[in-house]
A and B are shown apart, each in its own frame.
Chain A
Amino acid sequence: GAVVSQHPSRVICKSGTSVKIECRSLDFQATTMFWYRQFPKQSLMLMATSNEGSKATYEQGVEKDKFLINHASLTLSTLTVTSAHPEDSSFYICSASPGLAADTQYFGPGTRLTVL
């Protein structure tokens, strides 16, 4: 099946620093990718829709200046958590679809961010 990778898988940073997370679709082109965050024992919460060649669409309540998304190519989207604080510590997961309204959507393995 299609593979989506994420890097890094785990990151620990100091409060106030910025962290970049990469999401790559390895064997298909994805015009749209999605970024989720998941707190322990909770469901996935959609943060934003990443569109290749255009600005990301953020869900209500998600600060676009804090969570910068760049979709540089059809296989790469990046999420940068700027000026991270301990409350940003979470599990961040990206997903990509091989086509609009496809019958599956592939997820990356996730990135666990810990902000000290």
Chain B
Amino acid sequence: AQKITQTQPGMFVQEKEAVTLDCTYDTSDPSYGLFWYKQPSSGEMIFLIYQGSYDQQNATEGRYSLNFQKARKSANLVISASQLGDSAMYFCAMREGRYTDKLIFGTGTRLQVFP
């Protein structure tokens, strides 16, 4: 079974609108971390947001928020007020367990923001 599933290969959103990128995960370890990264065409991986499995509140970082639904094992990324510069690939990743830093990545979602 896939550890990290991103079911949306591509998404379109109009500038200034909000968009949700889906991510579901699969683990039996009670301790894990969930990450979202942005990869523009230049190739660099830009860290966006992190959610720990024991965090009580949803993580937020500026225009990014993580809709963490533990029972459903989902960690969707919400980008508010989309900007043209948000066009990129977005990857969800999981660190499984507390004694590792190894990340498992999803297949990614390509977001395109149009004017």
Contact = CB atoms under 8 A, between A and B. Distances in A.
Interface of A: 1, 32, 34, 38, 42-44, 46, 49, 91, 93, 95, 97, 100-110, 112
Interface of B: 31, 33, 35, 37, 42-47, 50, 52, 91, 95, 98-108
A46 B33 contact: no
Contact of A34 (B42, B101, B107): B101
Contact of A32 (B45, B47, B50, B101): B101
Contacts of A103: 33, 50, 52
Q: Is the interface of A mostly helix, strand, loop or mixed?
A: loop
Contacts of B103: 34, 46, 95, 105
Contact of A112 (B43, B100, B107): B43
Given A91-B43, A101-B95, A107 B37 contact: yes
A43 B45 contact: no
A106 B101 contact: no
Given A101-B33, A105-B35, A44 B105 contact: yes
Which of B44, B99, B104, B107 has the most A CB atoms < 10 Å from its CB? B44
B14 to A, nearest CB: 24
A100 B43 contact: no
Contacts, number: 62
Given A101-B33, A102-B101, A110 B44 contact: yes
Contact of A43 (B44, B100, B102, B107): B107
A107 B95 contact: no
B64 to A, nearest CB: 13
B99 A93 contact: no
17 contacts: A34-B102, A34-B103, A43-B91, A43-B106, A46-B103, A93-B45, A95-B45, A100-B99, A100-B101, A101-B95, A101-B100, A102-B101, A103-B52, A104-B35, A105-B35, A105-B95, A107-B46
A100 B37 CA distance: 19
Nearest to B51: A103
Contacts of A112: 43
